[in-house]
Chain A
Amino acid sequence: MKKDKNYINSIRTIKEKCIGCTHCLRICPTEAIRVRNRKMELYDLKCIDCGECFKVCPTGSIYSFYDNIEVIKNFDYNILIVPNIFPSINFGMLSYEDVIKRLFSLGFNEIWEEGIGNEAYLIALQKILKETKDTIKPIIPTSCPAIVRLLQVNYPLLINNLTVINLPLDILGNYIKEKRKNIKSFGLFYLSTYPCKVTALKNPLGLKSSPFNGVFSLSDIYKRLMIEKIEGSGEFFKSGKVGVSSGRRGGEEDFLEEFKVISIDGIWNINKFFDEMEEEKIPYFDYIDAKACLLGCVGGVFLKNQNFLLNFYNQREEEKRRKSLMSDVVEKDIDEFLKDENLLLTEKINPRPQYLLSENMDIAAKIFQEVNTIYDLLPKFDCGSCGAPSCRSFAEDVVLNKIKLTECKFIEEKNL
């Protein structure tokens, strides 16, 4: 799949369903949401695809962009990667093996667990922590795409702490692509439960192109699995214990025992931590296992309200696989995974200039002063009635001519 530089985020809304209730407004960690004319509006360049808005939306009007599964018909041979938390999902009466069999019947020839990529990622990380002395610490991972984008939008000072290692999913994708290069027409796909990963595949950061040909939604596939009760067969590649636990908060910590690692989950907790980190108030750490969803990937966006349950099943699954720490593929072929072209980012990830008021400092300073003048007039309740998440963001919108000052209920009263 070619990188689409114009593909910025995956969050979409169904306008008809949106009632303009402002639930999503305040939960957004980057203040990317406004409510205008009783509808949710997204400032695309500020959105980091964390999916918090999706989780709180009471009317179900927020969804994520996905490819239609029909695209697999364009290829003779199809490979699907399932997310690392896939084995932890409860499919009711169906066993995990049954689910995989049914997945094959949808037209896939091979199914790989994403956890395999996480295993390779962790081995590479361990190597870097051990061998490279001059990396900026603590290392912030690329494994959670929402975190990478959070740094771009909110924490430009920390962008150099990002590791040079690829997203685990891309490491695995690159590996498979290389291994199957003899097959003429093959498609590589990912089954996602996260909008952040959809964006990461459509417009990868730090890479020229993505090894993937498409990304499907779990809920869409889930429905199909339940309706079409046909069993298929193909090659199935399982991850080991490490791959499974990497989807849970603290899972990576277990593997990196010998280093000083701290695990943080939940985008707001991470926001607070990064604030302190920017001010150098945090003691020394080698690595921060930061995951945007509460409890980690098991709190995945499209598994609304199931995070504790999934966390439980994840621990069980890990227990089941305790005998094989790593997947067979990683055990046998780790050198191939760790080849530079599979493993490393090729481009530097830069901050998005959208956190600025203007790219010209003179103008930015002027805007800043105007914003302060307007902010002083406001009640500072951050009530959200104007459709902006805070009085300060409202003041900024006013100065940037995106909204009228009189939209503030309190200003109106005063003037009348």
Chain B
Amino acid sequence: MENQPLLVESFKIIGKDYENGGEASSKIKSILKKLGIPPEIIKKVSICAYESEMNIVIYAYEGEITLFIYKDRIKVEAKDIGPGIENLELAMKEGYSTAPPEAIELGFGAGMGLPNIKNNSDRMKIDTDIGKGTTLTFEVDLNEKG
């Protein structure tokens, strides 16, 4: 499965930059459109990419999202320098959130981010190091439609 990616693109994300939050996932979406990825797949990847981007914006200091396109799947790696996730099990629960008040005021932090990524991707992995940062990786397969 570990063949060479056809395309790799990275985007820098700045923490607390709510105004520009979503731009990286928007760019990812337009790349996938240009490549002719089926709309259903683009939708899934966009949702996951947006959630992981907003996670960096809300919780971390800075980070980077990298898109890998393989022949058979799309992989996105969201790597951040930040506080890390203290309780992964709780974080995966729908409705659980530790978002700061300013994020909640803006309508974020409903505790749906990670569950949403899990539901819309085929594989998801989280490596977190308390006090250092988190790397979230998810993959969406290309071979089957829908």
Contact = CB atoms under 8 A, between A and B. Distances in A.
Contact of A361 (B47, B50, B71): B71
Contacts of B123: none
A266 interface: no
Contact of A369 (B7, B22, B29, B50): B7
Nearest to A353: B36
A416 B28 CA distance: 36
B39 A159 contact: yes
A384 interface: no
B26 A279 contact: yes
Contacts of B104: none
A142 B139 CA distance: 36
A325 interface: no
A280 interface: yes
B25 interface: yes
Contact of B35 (A159, A275, A281, A356): A356
Interface of A: 156-157, 159-160, 275, 278-281, 351, 353, 355-359, 361-362, 364-366, 368-369
B105 to A, nearest CB: 17
A361 B5 CA distance: 12
Interface residues of B, number: 20
Interface of B: 6-7, 22, 25-26, 29, 31, 33-37, 39, 42-43, 46-47, 50, 69, 71
B22 A364 contact: no
A229 B34 CA distance: 55
B16 to A, nearest CB: 19
B26 A361 contact: no
A355 B33 contact: yes
Contact of B39 (A156, A353, A359, A364): A156
B45 to A, nearest CB: 11
